[in-house]
Amino acid sequence: MSGLFLTFEGPEGAGKSTQVGLLKGWLEANGHAVLSTREPGGTELGRGIRQLVLHQAAMSPEAEYLLYSADRAEHARAVIQPGLREGKVVLCDRWLDSSLAYQGYGRGLSLEWLRQVARGAIADLWPACTFLFDLPPEVGLARFEGRDRLEREPLAFHQRVRQGYLELAQAEPERFVVLDATQPLEALQAAVRTKLASLLSQPGMG
């Protein structure tokens, strides 16, 4: 595949979706073909799954994760891989790290089991770079009123999720770029563009 796969992670209210939109506009203005997508919800199947996992009254953590994995499997094969084959820069708002943080650290499911399931679901599709927008959960949750199942979880849940993200980033420093999401929007976008410029300058990209 000749494209570039980038993922954007972070807790609720970190502003990653805004950053994805800004980056897409900048890349397109500089002549790059861009595919912007999100999970869950990047496919027709995913939109139905999104409604289930974010608005269903209750479900087990295992069922929740398997629904996310079904979305991820369809997303990888129907959207992301075709985009990469076409040479596009693929910007994905959340990917597997979200499940490791939310269902693993947050819900307490085994990280080993989560990764075993993921190996089949994502078809060995790993991002070249993951931007983690780190933010204290009390700050992020204060930015809006909780709307879905995950956003309405207690503060302790979101604290575990944040800690999970930071541990994942510490374990893979070559892939993660950790950004302080309390910084101004413009400063965060400048940091993202600087990192991306170095990736695009590598042989085979640009």
**167: Cβ contacts below 8 Å, ≥ 6 apart:** 105
Residue 70 has pLDDT above 90, yes or no: yes
Residue 3 has pLDDT above 90, yes or no: yes
Which parts of the chain fold into alpha helices (H)?
16-29, 44-55, 61-75, 81-85, 96-99, 111-121, 137-142, 155-171, 185-200
Q: Which of 101, 46, 96, 100 is nearest to 71 (CA)?
A: 46
Residue 204 has pLDDT above 60, yes or no: no
Residue numbering of the annotated binding site for ATP: 10-17
Cα separation, 181 vs 154, whole angstroms:
21
- Joined together, the tokens standing for residue 95 give 């990917």
Residue 205 has pLDDT above 60, yes or no: no
Cα separation, 14 vs 135, whole angstroms:
6
Give the mean model confidence (pLDDT) for residues 40-60: 86
Share of the chain above pLDDT 90, in %: 74
Q: Which of 1, 3, 9 is nearest to 165 (CA)?
A: 9
Give the mean model confidence (pLDDT) for residues 46-73: 90
Look up the pTM and report it.
Answer: 0.92
- Joined together, the tokens standing for residue 169 give 């980033």
Give the mean model confidence (pLDDT) for residues 143-151: 72
Pairing of strands 89-93, 176-180: unpaired
The DSSP 8-state label assigned to residue 89 in this structure reads E
Residue numbering of the annotated binding site: 10-17
- Joined together, the tokens standing for residue 96 give 């597997």
Residue 206 has pLDDT above 50, yes or no: no
- Please give the pLDDT value at position 114: 97
Largest CA distance in the chain: 49
- Please give the pLDDT value at position 153: 87
Q: What mean pLDDT, rounded, does the chain reach?
A: 92
Domain annotation for the chain: domains and CATH numbers? 4-200 (3.40.50.300)
